[in-house]
Amino acid sequence: MRLREETGTSADVLPASADFAQTGRFGEFVQKTCDAVYRSLSIILFFAIWQAASSLEFVPSAVIPPPSRVASAVVESLLEGQMAAMLWYSIINVALGFAISFIICIPAGLVIGAYYSRFEHVLLPFLRVCEKLNIFALFPVFMILFGIGRLEKIMVVLWVSQWPLLFVTIDGSRNLDRYMLKAARSMGARGWKMVRKIIIPMMTPYIFVGMKSSVQLSFFMIIASEMVGANRGLGWLYRSSNHAYNVPLMYGIILVITVLAIVINVIFTRAERHFLAWRPDTFGEAGRKRA
Amino acid sequence: MSENKISIENACKYFYGKERRGAASKFVAIRNVSLDVREGELLSIVGPSGCGKSTLLDLLAGLEPLSDGAIYIDGGKVTGPDLRRGIVLQGYALFPWRTVRENVEFGLEIKDAEKKEMKETSQHFIKLVGLEDFADKYPHELSGGMRQRVALARALAYGPEILLMDEPFAAVDAQTRETLQEELLHIWEETRKTIIFITHSIDEAIFLSDRVAVMTSSPGSIKSILSVDIERPRNSDRATAEFSSLRREIWSLLQNDAARGDEIEQEYCGEKAV
């Protein structure tokens, strides 16, 4: 990765910085702002129409309050500290559940993939059935087993996030390039060195796919489970603002959740660009230049 | 005759299919192959697809255990892969997440060589194959010929005494192929490695080699070994009388066998996947 950055500076960034010198810092800024506005035009329009429709009472503002009120409700909740605390609570639970699931699933997937023929008929049908269990139906079971609270939420995340990770890792582990393994072996790579220097890099694209869907699913499900039964968390806050008829805050939380999903997506895309820069098909030329 | 670097004695390799109701299928990939290779020699093995050439190379590399017989290198029995043999595989098998330099340094990295030594060695071999300007590129940014050069540099970098090459130039266009052949000869002359070169191109075998071993399939065995007594440096137009007569001779040796080749290959691949 270090070397990749070096090539990046020499080959890719130089033309851009030459361009930069020509237009100047301010020109660059204006250009970027215009680009950003142009690309978010549909979103800006959406909010504008919403604002207009609601404040002019085309739609009853008690049911759909204007975005200005939604925004102030979010700010208010943030200032009170409640929003941030709940957001943080949910994020931490997802992070913990996901981390545990990652630690379990990656090695397990590697092993199952490596001895696939042995596990194919014994273990996989069972795992497939488990995967198909409806998580909403499982929420009460988890609550009974672990009690409503942090442990239960972490277990929910662990449960839902393990499947994409596990199956994708099995898939990657079964599809390891035989020739590359052979080449590595001929150069004396064995054991842990083989895993670290060959198998893990070879698996990274698969693992990324699994991680991405795992984390997205985790957030989805933790908010659902917090809405079903919890006394903290973003889902709970949503539920309680609903009960308190705090309609602006309800919409605000929907927006916060959406922003959260976007942020997660951006983080993963960035990470992917960084770790998978060697892949020709990840983002194409433009992707590598931007990375 | 100088000392034998490699000697293969009655090498056999069988593959066993999945057992179905007690009946295991056995496929003989190689039967009773014996071959001696001299120090510093460039020996080619030609044969139809599926005749067990690649299997023989795997055995030589120590990547697969023999079913019977033995292979000796400098008198020592081959039991597993080691760094005295460098292998260049069909289809490059470069590591796509590593730059050219990192690919070339792989063997040294496994040996836990020092950073400085690694850098110097990789620099030397990248230069030898003419890729100085591409050292920090990733394999997908290179052409087929360049990738092949990287694979060669990677195999040379950790200083093997023997180079095993499995149809290394099969995937590049004809012109690049000829350039690579000449470069290989140049590198061979410079380093005096013992090279075993597997190919299905008769011309390539004659142009490169001191001797050509002709393999036939079903089961894979060596039919004949011919000396190529054409003086080096050899004429790259490959149209001399000696060249033609050798080509005809090898061709006729392979002729009887070629018809069965495809069928065998399918069977072989099936077995190997098990």
Ordered structural domains, chain B, with CATH? 4-84+162-273 (3.40.50.300), 94-159 (no CATH)
Mutation test of the interface with chain A: which of B19, B90, B95, choosing the one with the most A Cβ atoms within 10 A? B95
Overall average pLDDT of the A77-103 stretch: 92
CA distance B198 to B161: 17
1.10.3720.10, 3.50.50.60, 3.40.710.10, 1.10.8.60: CATH of A81-290: 1.10.3720.10
pLDDT at A282 over 70: no
Overall average pLDDT of the A188-212 stretch: 90
- Residue-averaged pLDDT of chain A: 85
Report the pLDDT value the prediction gives residue B274, as an integer from 0 to 100: 32
Read off the pLDDT band of B273 (50, 70, 90). very low
> Which residues are B43's β-sheet partners?
B196, B211
Which position has the higher pLDDT, A46 or A16?
Answer: A46
Overall average pLDDT of the B149-163 stretch: 90
Report the pLDDT value the prediction gives residue A62, as an integer from 0 to 100: 84
Per residue in A233-258, pLDDT (tens digit) is 899 999 999 888 889 999 999 999 99
User: What is the least distance, in Å, from the CA of A164 to any CA of chain B?
Assistant: 24
**For residue A66, cis peptide bond before it (omega within 30 degrees of 0):** no
CB B162 within 8 A of CB B6: yes
DSSP code, position A197? I
Whether residues A201 and B140 touch (CB distance < 8 A) is answered with no
Whether residues B136 and A3 touch (CB distance < 8 A) is answered with yes
Query: Highest mean pLDDT range out of A264-268, B88-92, B223-227, B267-271?
Result: A264-268
> What three-state secondary structure class fits B199?
strand
Cβ–Cβ contact B80 with A under 8 A: no
CA distance B94 to B82: 19
The letter for the amino acid at A273 is R
pLDDT at B66 over 60: yes
Residues 88-117 of B with CB under 8 A from A: 89-91, 93-99, 101-102, 106-107, 109-111
Q: Above pLDDT 90, what percent of chain B? A: 20
> Which residues are B35's β-sheet partners?
B8
Least confident of A73-87, B7-21, B38-52: B7-21
Contact list in B for residue A204 (CB cut-off 8 A) is 97
Which position has the higher pLDDT, B218 or A75?
Answer: A75
Q: Phi first, then psi: what are they for B158, rounded to 5°?
A: -90, 15
Report the pLDDT value the prediction gives residue B267, as an integer from 0 to 100: 38
**Predicted-complex ipTM score:** 0.81
Contact list in A for residue B101 (CB cut-off 8 A) is 3
- Residue-averaged pLDDT of chain B: 83
Q: Nearest Cα to A77, choosing from A285, A262, A237?
A: A237
Which position has the higher pLDDT, A250 or B261?
Answer: A250
Residue-range domain boundaries for chain A: 2-55, 81-290
pLDDT at B262 over 80: no
How many residues belong to chain B?
A: 274
CB B191 within 8 A of CB B156: yes
CB A238 within 8 A of CB A244: no
Read off the pLDDT band of B163 (50, 70, 90). very high
Report the pLDDT value the prediction gives residue A221, as an integer from 0 to 100: 92
Report the pLDDT value the prediction gives residue B113, as an integer from 0 to 100: 85
pLDDT at A169 over 90: yes
Residue in the structure block whose two tokens are 């095993």: B164
Instruction: Note the Cα B108 to chain centre separation in Å.
Output: 21
Q: Which residue among A3, A7, A188 sits closest to B111, beta carbon to beta carbon?
A: A188
CB B101 within 8 A of CB A241: no
Report the pLDDT value the prediction gives residue B266, as an integer from 0 to 100: 38
CA distance B155 to A198: 17
Q: Nearest Cα to B195, choosing from B3, B12, B60, B77?
A: B60
pLDDT at B117 over 60: yes
Per residue in B102-112, pLDDT (tens digit) is 999 998 898 88
pLDDT at A211 over 50: yes
pLDDT at B176 over 90: no
Which position has the higher pLDDT, A209 or A9?
Answer: A209
CA distance A111 to A122: 14
Report the pLDDT value the prediction gives residue A280, as an integer from 0 to 100: 72
Report the pLDDT value the prediction gives residue A290, as an integer from 0 to 100: 40
Q: Which residue among A10, A186, A279 sits closest to B87, beta carbon to beta carbon?
A: A186
Report the pLDDT value the prediction gives residue B235, as an integer from 0 to 100: 73
pLDDT at A289 over 60: no
Mutation test of the interface with chain B: which of A10, A179, A180, A187, choosing the one with the most B Cβ atoms within 10 A? A187
Which residue in A has a C-alpha nearest to residue B61's C-alpha? A186
Read off the pLDDT band of B242 (50, 70, 90). confident
Report the pLDDT value the prediction gives residue A4, as an integer from 0 to 100: 42
Report the pLDDT value the prediction gives residue B258, as an integer from 0 to 100: 54
Instruction: Note the Cα A105 to chain centre separation in Å.
Output: 17
Which position has the higher pLDDT, A135 or B1?
Answer: A135
Overall average pLDDT of the B49-77 stretch: 87
Whether residues A183 and B89 touch (CB distance < 8 A) is answered with yes
Read off the pLDDT band of B79 (50, 70, 90). confident
Read off the pLDDT band of B23 (50, 70, 90). low
Report the pLDDT value the prediction gives residue A17, as an integer from 0 to 100: 46
**For residue B233, cis peptide bond before it (omega within 30 degrees of 0):** yes
